[in-house]
Homo-oligomer: A and B are copies of this chain.
Amino acid sequence: MISVAVIGAAGRMGKTTCDAVEAAADLTLSARIGSGDDLLAGLKGAQVAVVMTGPEGVDDIVATCVEQGVHAVVGTTGWTEAGLAKVQAALASKPEVGVLLAPNFALGAVLLMRFAAEAAKHFESVEVVELHHPNKADAPSGTARHTAQQIAAARREAGVAPSPDATTAALDGARGADVDGVRVHSVRLRGLVAHEEVLLGGPGEQLTIRHDSFDRISFMPGVLLAVRQIAGRPGLVQGLEHYL
């Protein structure tokens, strides 16, 4: 039985996490910690903390977890270099504690990224299309940027030439955004949630890898997997892919 405290328990992701922990036979929910609650008191008796807060102050929260010897599974994004340094400093005194920072806990999104980077070494062309609801403020999505960057790094390392493109006459924007040399297209459509597609092409063939997130419940298998494994993964880890 692993005892789990959820920090940011009043938010939508926090609530979903509490439900998932309570529904898991091998986990027990030791505390629901909100923004006004006493963090130290809340962490009492917890082995793992799941952090689903906003970005502000998250570095102090995670450093406190480490100091208390509580492993931290963190879904909060927007980390700064200074924030990361604070967590590293805390870990220096508690090297047996694990911290996982993961921008996307959906197993499918993590696998898509890994498969795309692997496949991109073997294909002449690669582009990314991401599709989201029209209330989203940024384009491309953080996940799509991250995917394109990983694809670009894998191709660089394998010595693959840039994707061919003979376009000479284009309307502005037609060919998408350029992320490290990889074209990324952002579709915004009412009714959608979060979707990403990597298109790879070679002579006479195409490989397509697509991930659809229909509901934030899709993050829960990844969160629980991390909760169960983190005791065996001391130190700072960035990205759920390292746990699979």
Interface residues of A (CB under 8 A from B): 106-109, 111-112, 115, 118-119, 122-127, 129, 131, 134-140, 163-179, 183-193, 199-221, 244
Contacts and interface: CB of A to CB of B under 8 A. Distances in A.
Contact of A108 (B167, B172, B174, B200): B200
Nearest to A121: B244
A227 to B, nearest CB: 16
B207 A201 contact: no
Which are the 6 A-B pairs with shortest beta-carbon distances?
A: A204-B218, A204-B215, A189-B201, A205-B218, A171-B177, A108-B207
B206 A221 contact: no
A221 B244 contact: no
A111 B220 CA distance: 28
A173 B172 contact: yes
Nearest to A207: B108
A78 to B, nearest CB: 13
Contacts of A189: 125-127, 163, 199-201, 206
Name the prevailing secondary structure of the A interface residues.
mixed
Contacts of A190: 123-125, 163-164, 201-203
Contacts of A126: 189
A177 B178 contact: no
A64 B176 CA distance: 44
Contacts of A125: 134, 188-191
A206 B131 CA distance: 12
Nearest to A111: B119
B205 A213 contact: yes
Contacts of A140: 170-171, 174
14 contacts: A106-B205, A107-B122, A111-B207, A122-B221, A122-B244, A134-B164, A170-B186, A183-B187, A183-B188, A185-B187, A191-B204, A205-B212, A206-B212, A209-B209
Contacts of A123: 107-108, 190
B167 A171 contact: no
A139 B169 contact: yes
Nearest to A187: B127
